[in-house]
Amino acid sequence: MTYAKTVSSQKSTWGSEMLNVTNLNSGYGEIGVLNDVTFDVKDEVFAVLGSNGAGKTTLLKTLALLLPTSQGRITLKDADITQMPAHLASAHGLAYVPQEGNLFPALSVMENLRIGGRTGSRPMDEKLDDVFTLFPRLKDRTHQQAGSLSGGEGQMLAVGRAMMQEPKLLLLDEPSAGLSPLFVDILFESIKEAREKRGMTIVLAEQNAVKAIEIADRILVLSLGEIHLLKERKNLEMKDITAAYHI
């Protein structure tokens, strides 16, 4: 696919480059999923869309260093992290929130947050205040077991714990999955605020295209493991998205 080879030459109108992905191939053992994927991420909210099986989760797992690359390169702020062990990711400013298994269910809300806050330079209390400002519900549940939270509250805690790491780049995989419309609205507003007021660069893989487009600066659409399109939000038409979902 020639499109993937030309994406990196596009110039954004904001921010400096945070992440660069070049000719990336990845998958699960002998099963290839991503094919020659190339793009960069600026200081922005960058949405990754696509139908089930398009490769969204595979892409985020690869960026989080949980899946090996069979080809290509991943650069974070000029540092080549392609072959870096996953346990070193947080020290280089990378935080990942998977769709499932993103909490310590037997621990309290506060204990989960403090585990996330072990990295970074700011005082723990300052980081906790930031999280509680974004997610006031968590402040009222600090002693509650994480496993007893509602789905929406649990996702807020997962995102809050990742933010406690003070990441340069936050990877969110399907954060709205299984949530009620109310919690989806709260969560996406908090993600938008984290970008605008905390300066985090966010890569957001989402099935809910409408909500993702509301807060994204640019949108990448995957189809069958390849890039179907990459556009700034202001230039995107829903027919572009619809076409990709029906390939």
Question: Tokens 């037997």 — which residue?
Answer: 106
pLDDT at 175: 93
Residue type, 188: F
- Span 131-157, average pLDDT: 94
User: What residue spans define the domains of the chain?
Assistant: 2-245
Start-to-end CA span in the chain (Å): 14
Q: Give the whole-angstrom CA distance, residue 97 versus residue 246.
A: 28
What is residue 5's predicted lDDT score, i.e. its pLDDT? 38
Return the pLDDT at 15: 52
Q: How confident is the model at residue 246 (pLDDT cuts 50, 70, 90)?
A: low
Cα separation, 198 vs 176, whole angstroms: 21
Mean pLDDT (whole number) for 73-99: 93
**Residue 29 has what pLDDT?**
87
Cα–Cα distance between 100 and 60 in angstroms, integer?
Answer: 13
pLDDT band at 237 (very low <50, low <70, confident <90, very high): confident
Question: Lowest-pLDDT range, 18-27, 83-92, 213-222?
Answer: 83-92
What pLDDT was estimated at residue 13? Answer: 42
Whether the pLDDT of residue 6 is over 80: the answer is no
Residue, of 30 and 47, whose pLDDT is higher: 47
Which is more confidently placed, 7 or 198?
Answer: 198
Q: Is the dihedral of CA 173, 60, 121, 197 positive or negative?
A: negative
Q: What percent of the chain has pLDDT over 70?
A: 92
What is the predicted pLDDT for the residue at 116?
92
Q: With 90 as the cut, is the pLDDT of residue 188 above it?
A: yes
Query: For 2-245, which CATH class?
Result: alpha beta
Q: Largest Cα–Cα distance in the chain?
A: 53
Paired sense of beta strands 218-223 and 19-28, if any = unpaired
Which stretch of 9-18, 135-144, 208-217 has the lowest confidence by average pLDDT? 9-18
pTM of the complete model = 0.90
Q: What is the pLDDT of residue 178?
A: 87
Interhelix angle for 124-134 vs 109-116, to 10°? 120
Res 241 pLDDT > 80 = no
